[in-house]
Structure 1
Amino acid sequence: MKKIAILVPESSVLQAIADPQYCFSAVNQFYKEAGKEPLFQVELVGVKSEVQLGNGHFSVHPDKLLPEAGQPDLIIIPALFGDMEKAIAANREMIPWIIDQYNDGAEVASLCVGAFLLASTGLLNGKKCSTHWGFTGLFRELFPMVDVQDGLIVTEENGIYSSGGANSYWNLLLHLVEKFAGREMAILTSKYFAIDIGRNSQSPFAMFKGQKKHDDDLVRRAQNYIEQNIDGRITVDELADKLSVGRRSFERRFKRATNNSVLEYIQRVKMEVAKRNFETSRKNIGEVMFEVGYTDSKAFRNTFRKITGLTPVEYRNRYNKMVVPAEG
């Protein structure tokens, strides 16, 4: 039997505790219905006997406290909520326990922004990690030694797992079910919970926010120029000339400040505008393409798909719910 310890941190998200408990308990039920012994022993583990969540609206009572929890096979760190640095500080007592259990052979999985608590252990240094797309900037700032993955839903390295944002942690739970119980059980679980087992990217949900939390005024001026000239074909040389700076120096400063190359940034800004158009208007693909400065439809489609994981048509059909009036 595999022992799973679901942590109950302060300032955590209730659903990110309840959902893995529900998931692995459901797998146990599937085993019972097949006349087999349950596969998982699932326990909630905390620092104290009662943890209040959701501004005091909910109370969670862990099954075990850290000193009595024993050695799990898998530790699950749920998503945190609110100020990440304060949430990490509130759960400092859990960090040495997680490190000790990992060093003794346990695997560790973080759900969504639970990656912040996982990264605080140092176990992610030099490793890949997924987290919520909206928190990657802060994550890189706090944990520069971790290789955070833009857009990926599930990462796995050396017995450490992490997931993308919000409900995409279900894809990590299915990944863990497949690892411990096999593909057939993972598919059954995905059907039971109506989760798409094949989804591996959170790119369609990401909103590009411009990455302006830096102190480089020259780079910020370049960003503003890009955003004000969406319909133009902007080159790196053009931007460097306008800012009276050498191209190589400009590219280095831009990458350091935004974590994107200049060309990546231009593409992401343009595709963000294209996404908004597809979501909120009846414009066809050609109209949107020209509005964001593309004249080559193949290049536009390829760039859009690279950034969102969907073709323009797929994106519009999924996210534009405008009703088309019936004919006749």
Structure 2
Amino acid sequence: MNRQPPLDIVLVAYPAAQKAALYGLTDLFAVADEVSRKRQERAAPVLRVLSMDPDRFTGASSGREGDSTSLPDAPSVVIIPPSLTGPPNPETVPELLTWLRTCHEGGSILAAVCAGTFLLAATGLLDGRPATTHWSAAARLQQAFPAIRIDPDRLLVDDGDILTVGGIMSWPDLGLRLIDRLLGPAAMLETARYLLIDPPRHDQRHYRHFVPDLTHGDRTILKVQHWLRTEAARNATVADMTSVSGLEERTFLRRFHKVTSHTPLDYLQRLRVEKSRDLLETTALPLEQIAWEAGYQGSGAFRKIFTRLMGQTPADYRRRFSPAGSSRE
């Protein structure tokens, strides 16, 4: 009989933590535990989920027995869930940050979902490493922690001992990835099939919206940004943008990148792709017409740029996000 102790997974249940993630991950791991016990013909638990109050550093088992237990010194995994209002200010939970570092030193896998990445980043353990968070918070995370290599296009970054996940509701992707890591791909796939959820995704580009910064205070560049929204700018070029600014080209390029964090061409392409997304979602126009409406002279260039920025072709995007789920391409 297998007498190995269960693998401990600790959920950091800070006050604003998303309840759906806390309960959902507990249920997800409970199913994985049941699946693995049957596969191994084992009576004892394979996984044990503990909920940790950051103020007390003690936890109550989230298993079916509901017994109370102290947290292990180095659990197999520690997960910082997402939040709709943000995690606690790191300065208010210094002992939690210390505990996370200690767990990591002891061999624990650390994981964070969405806004939880901010709390994990405050430990310093993400410095110099790749990570992701919700696409809308990526710039803020980068500004607060410039040493982190943030990739907002990726939904899940598995860097071995540290995992970060982007979307608020992407905790199932994290849970399944951890089940794969802890119990193997067969247990992960069986858990996913039982719960009727897809195996882990990797990309959040097709959920990410381009929201330009219009509060930077550079009125000359703001004039160009506003002009790009007009019909006259449908076929705009970088030369046109420079002309509208009234600046010398090198000065325009430098100032534009400084306040928008994009080159003029990249900014223009993102605006066009954003417009095409709306047309793909809300109309049945053929791709050639959508390309023209967005400012492209041909559908070939449109498909190439759309796929690069969104991680899937325009046709695939329409099938996934259009209510009708069909197109005339």
What is the letter of the counterpart of residue 19 of structure 1?
A: G
Residue 144 of structure 1 deviates from its aligned partner by 2.1
Retained in 1: the 8 A contact 2:80–2:116? Answer: yes
Residue 129 of structure 1 deviates from its aligned partner by 0.9
Retained in 1: the 8 A contact 2:138–2:152? Answer: yes
Residue of structure 2 equivalent to 1:80: 83
Residue of structure 2 equivalent to 1:154: 156
CA distance in 2, matches of 1:258, 1:125: 24
Retained in 2: the 8 A contact 1:274–1:289? Answer: yes
RMSD: 2.7
Residue of structure 1 equivalent to 2:223: 221
**Secondary structure of 2:115's aligned partner:** helix
Residue 114 of structure 1 deviates from its aligned partner by 1.0
Residue of structure 2 equivalent to 1:288: 290
Residue 32 of structure 1 deviates from its aligned partner by 2.0
Retained in 2: the 8 A contact 1:44–1:62? Answer: no
CA distance in 1, matches of 2:216, 2:69: 44
Retained in 2: the 8 A contact 1:154–1:172? Answer: yes
CA distance in 2, matches of 1:29, 1:152: 31
**Secondary structure of 1:75's aligned partner:** strand
Residue of structure 1 equivalent to 2:60: none
> After superposition, where does 1:186-197 map in structure 2 within 5 Å?
186-197=188-199
Retained in 1: the 8 A contact 2:83–2:168? Answer: no
Structure 1 residue ranges without an equivalent (≥5): 51-60
Residue 176 of structure 1 deviates from its aligned partner by 1.3
**Secondary structure of 1:207's aligned partner:** coil
What is the letter of the counterpart of residue 270 of structure 1?
A: R
**Kindly tell me: are residues 80 and 262 of structure 1, through their superposed partners in 2, closer, same or farther at Cα, counting changes over 3 Å?**
same
Deviations 1:26-53 (CA, angstroms, capped at 9, x unpaired): 1111122221353322211113469xxx
1:26 aligns with 2:27: no
CA distance in 1, matches of 2:193, 2:317: 24
CA distance in 1, matches of 2:68, 2:114: 23
Structure 2 residue ranges without an equivalent (≥5): 1-5, 58-65
1:106 aligns with 2:108: yes
Residue of structure 1 equivalent to 2:63: none
Residue 288 of structure 1 deviates from its aligned partner by 1.3
Instruction: Tell which deviates more after alignment, 113-122 or 246-255.
Output: 246-255
> After superposition, where does 1:176-187 map in structure 2 within 5 Å?
176-187=178-189
**TM-score after normalising by structure 2:** 0.85
> After superposition, where does 1:135-150 map in structure 2 within 5 Å?
135-150=137-152
CA distance in 1, matches of 2:243, 2:279: 31
Retained in 2: the 8 A contact 1:81–1:87? Answer: no
Residue 154 of structure 1 deviates from its aligned partner by 0.9
CA distance in 1, matches of 2:276, 2:166: 23
1:5 aligns with 2:10: yes
Instruction: Tell which deviates more after alignment, 86-95 or 202-211.
Output: 86-95
Retained in 2: the 8 A contact 1:43–1:62? Answer: no
> After superposition, where does 1:155-174 map in structure 2 within 5 Å?
155-174=157-176
Deviations 1:129-148 (CA, angstroms, capped at 9, x unpaired): 11111221222232222221
**Secondary structure of 1:222's aligned partner:** helix
- Provide the aligned length of Structure 1 versus Structure 2: 312
Retained in 1: the 8 A contact 2:117–2:164? Answer: yes
CA distance in 2, matches of 1:91, 1:104: 20
